[in-house]
Amino acid sequence: MIIDFNKVKYSYEDLVADAKALAKQYKSILQCVTIGKSHDNRDIVMLKLGRGLKYILFTAGVHGRETINPIVLMKIAEFYAKQFEDYQGLGEKYDKRLARPSTMIEEQYDYMIFGKCVYELLETYTILMIPLLNPDGYMISLYGIKSLKDLDLRERIKKKGHNYSQWKYNGRGVDINRNFPCNSWKPKNSKDYAASENETKTLIQIFHHYRIRGFLDFHSRGKCIYYHRKSMTEAYNEKQLQIAKRLKDITKYQLVDPKHEIDYGDSGGNTVHYFSEHFYKPAITIETVDEEAGFPLDYKYRTSTYEELKLILFEIAGLFL
C-alpha cells in the first residue's frame, strides 16, 4: 500500500512522490505525467489509469483548502491499479482454485468477477486524474504563506491578509474556478481576464488534447452534486440529470436544485461550465464532506470520502454511455 491515510499532513511533495511510486509499482496500467507548472513553480501532475482509448477526466484540488479529495483520488487510483494487476497476475491461479471448491468459494468468486470487470474497464477506458490542479493554494492552506518560495508572490498574498487555512485561491490569489472563459465569466476588476492563470491554462490544454467523454470535478463541501447548466440545451441537461441521479445512488449525496446552479452575484467561470460549452459532453461537480465541516478539513474525512466515491470509477462505462 502506497497511499497512507494515517499520515496526518499530506504535502504536495508527498503527493508527487506517491504519484511516482504508484506509476513505478503499477507500470502496466498507470502512468504519471507532468502537465504544467504552477506560478510558484510546482509541477501539476496527472495520473493516466488504464489502456483504453476512451478518456474520462477527474480533477481535484482546484481550491486550495479542499485538502481531502486529492489524496482520495490517489487512493482510488491505487485501488483500481492493484485490482487490475492482481487479476492479470493471478487469473489462472484463481481459475484453478475455483475448480477445487473451498469454504471461501463465494468470496473468491466475487473477487474474481470484480477483478475481471476492472480489467475489462481499464482495457477500454483511460481515466485521466489530476489529483491536485492547484498545488500552491493547497500548500498555502496547509502550511501558510511560508510555503511560497517566490518572495514577490508572498508579498502579494500577504496584502490580502487572510486566515490561510481558509485559502481557496492559487499562489497569486486568484480563484481558479472563476477563471475559465465560459458564458458566465465576469471580470472581478479592471485588470482581470479569463484564463489568466497557469492552472487554468493547463486544464484547458488537457480538455483540448484528449477526446474526453465525461468530466468530474471534485470539490468540498456539502455532499452534493451540481449538474444543471443554464447555458446548455434541454437535451444536454436531461443527460446531465441521468448521470447525476446515478452518482447520487452511488455516493448518497444530494442533487443541487437547478435554481442554485450559480449563486446570485457570482462571477462565474467554472471548470465544468467551460467544458460543457466547448465540448457538449457531460461535466459534473461533486462536493464531498459535510457542509458544516470546518477548515482545515479533518483528515479523518479521507476514509469516509474514499468509501463514498470509490465505486464511481467502476460504474464509469454505464455513466458516460
- CB 236 to Zn ion: min, Å: 23
Rounded least distance, CB 114 to Zn ion, Å: 32
CB nearer to Zn ion: pick between 47 and 224: 224
What x/- string results for residues 164 through 203 when contact with Zn ion is judged by CB under 5 A?
Answer: ----------------------------------------
Q: How far is the CB of 219 from Zn ion (least distance, A)?
A: 3
- Report which DSSP code applies to 256: P
Closer by beta carbon to Zn ion, 50 or else 269: 269
Chain centroid, CA 185 distance in Å: 22
Q: DSSP of 94-108, one letter per residue?
A: HHHHHHS--TTHHHH
63 part of the interface to Zn ion, by CB under 5 A: yes
222 φ/ψ sector (left φ>0, alpha ψ -120 to 50, else beta): left
Toward Zn ion, which CB reaches closer, 219 or 302?
219
Closest CA to 231 of 195, 280, 193: 280
Q: What CA–CA distance (Å, rounded) separates 35 from 261? A: 30
Beta carbon nearer to Zn ion, 2 or 140:
140
Residue given cell 441521479 in the structure block:
245
Provide, rounded to whole angstroms, the least separation between the CB of residue 175 and Zn ion. 9
State yes or no: residue 48 binds Zn ion (CB under 5 A): no
Does position 219 interact with Zn ion (CB under 5 A)? The reply is yes
CB 316 → Zn ion: shortest distance, Å?
22
Number of residues that bind Zn ion (CB under 5 A): 2
C-beta of 134 vs 147, nearer to Zn ion? 134
Torsion of CA 134, 138, 141, 145, to 10 degrees: -80
173 burial type by CB count under 10 A (0-12 exposed, 13-18 middle, 19+ buried): middle
The residue ranges that bind Zn ion (CB under 5 A) are 63, 219
